[in-house]
Amino acid sequence: MSRSIYEQAMYSQQQKMYGPVVASSLNNVAPPSTTTAFINFINNTARFWGDFFTKTIPGMFKPPLTPVKLIVRLIVGFLLIMVLIFIINIVKRISDPVITPEGFEEKNKVNIQPMLNSVEKRVNNLTNIEKKEGFQVDQTKKLINIQPMTVKQAAFLGPLKNGAFDANNGISQQLKLNVRSFFFNIDYITDQKDKTNQPLPYEPVLIYRDNTGNLTSYNSYASLDETFKYLGEYAFNDRIPNYTSPIIVYLHFIRTPDKLNESDKYIQYIKKVSTALNILNPFLAKEYYRSSKESDLFNQDMSSLNGKILIGTNIDTSYSKKLNAENRLTLMEDLDFKINFHYYKEDNDSIDATATYGAQVVPNALIVKAMSLLNMNEQQRDDWIEKHKNKFILIKDEPMNILNPAQVKILLDTFGVNVVPYDFFNSELNDAKNVKTQYNGSWKVKPTILLI
């Protein structure tokens, strides 16, 4: 193929500049004039940007300061900040990766069907295993003498690791077990890593953490609005066992925003819990609002509470009462207004956000760690029973621990504890059957020797 004199000159120049091998390779791509023009373009562009960053930009930071130089400086500063933010985010992702738990079919999509199938099968196995009718009709007993069968976490299907919540099926299946007493372990997250399946930061929700506080329900939670909605919808439905008897809800706060250092977040947090309860207003025991009649409540016959939902909590709600008095919260936003009783911790126990009672408070209800009682010797046990025999006692166990039937029996029949939360969905089936048989219905009465 013949070349023009110009093309031959370009080819000769390329051979001198880049060597015969490179020149020959370029010649196979395009005519020498074209490849030379392209190379010159690349060189000129590189020279331009080199001068821009080594001469033009540095010149913008030399005196005198002109309007153009000021604008350029602001733009460069903005770009540097954006680059820094990008680098920080990359480092965060490397050091704290988003965990995709096992059991979920695809990212950002929770597949609860396997857990739901397991729960439904479990409920079928646990239905109608009581030896007799149990304490369901004769309810002329004081609340303080009653030991309600209680679930450890409302609406939680499981498993304990990487488990899932389902407000609808979780509540309905727990009610089908004859349960009328529910722990609502309320918590929040501060960093929303998965916008599809995780709540907003500082949103009060039901989540599950392990014994060290690490989140195990990474991609699943239950909103209070949904769980309270389904509790109100199903609890007194005639298709549910023992549907006329009361419901007891324990608003157990695992954590709250700091009342002093995060006061705005704290107010909104408590306000949201109160607002979520509004759907249950038709069932709430209004005559016991603001815990004004706690002693009367625990000494009421159960039959007088039929069809009602009792609300207890472990935090001091006087702050919301104060805000209501200052017109900073409406009555429906005031959590204290809806509370029927408070339960406290004693000084030697550290239990979540539970308040410690002071000298001015004579508590009617207390919460105690399970192992604190189970590890007592005989003398300690007798002393504890004598001191607490007229209190409504609740048990708090570690999240990942499941009490065995023998431990449950000791707490109920020896110590006379009222509330022993139990996970009927994630325990061994035979253990769950044993525990359910111990209750023999929704409500168990304390041993005669421990009655008040």
Reported as a single tens digit per residue, the pLDDT across 315-358 is 999 999 999 999 999 999 999 999 999 999 997 778 999 999 98
Let me know if residue 2 belongs to a domain.
Answer: yes
- Separation CA 331–CA 290 (nearest Å): 11
Both 198 and 324 in one domain: the answer is yes
Burial 18-35 (b: 16+ CB within 10 A, else e): eeeeebeebbeeebbeeb
Report percent pLDDT > 90 for the chain. 64
| pTM, entire model | 0.75
- Looking at 43, 60, 77, the residue that finishes a domain is 60
Under 8 Å CB-to-CB from 309, ≥6 apart: which residues? 231, 232, 235, 246, 247, 248, 249, 280, 283, 284, 285
Both 234 and 295 in one domain: the answer is yes
Mean pLDDT score, 206-210: 94
Both 200 and 137 in one domain: the answer is yes
Domain encompassing residue 296? 113-450
Does residue 362 come out as left (phi exceeding 0), alpha (psi in the -120 to 50 range) or beta? beta
Let me know if residue 407 belongs to a domain.
Answer: yes
DSSP labels, 113-156: HHHHHHHHHHHHHHTT--SS--BTS---SBGGGEEE-EESSTTE
- For residue 175, name the pLDDT band (cuts at 50, 70, 90): very high
Reported as a single tens digit per residue, the pLDDT across 401-434 is 999 999 999 999 999 999 999 999 999 999 999 9
Both 27 and 146 in one domain: the answer is no
Reported as a single tens digit per residue, the pLDDT across 263-301 is 999 999 999 999 999 999 999 999 999 998 999 999 999
Total tally of structural domains belonging to the chain: 2
Taking 60 as the threshold, does the pLDDT of residue 170 lie above it? Answer: yes
Both 230 and 118 in one domain: the answer is yes
Let me know if residue 106 belongs to a domain.
Answer: no
Let me know if residue 13 belongs to a domain.
Answer: yes
Both 161 and 269 in one domain: the answer is yes
Let me know if residue 174 belongs to a domain.
Answer: yes
Both 158 and 51 in one domain: the answer is no
What CATH number has the domain bearing residue 221? 3.20.20.190
- For residue 363, name the pLDDT band (cuts at 50, 70, 90): very high
Let me know if residue 244 belongs to a domain.
Answer: yes
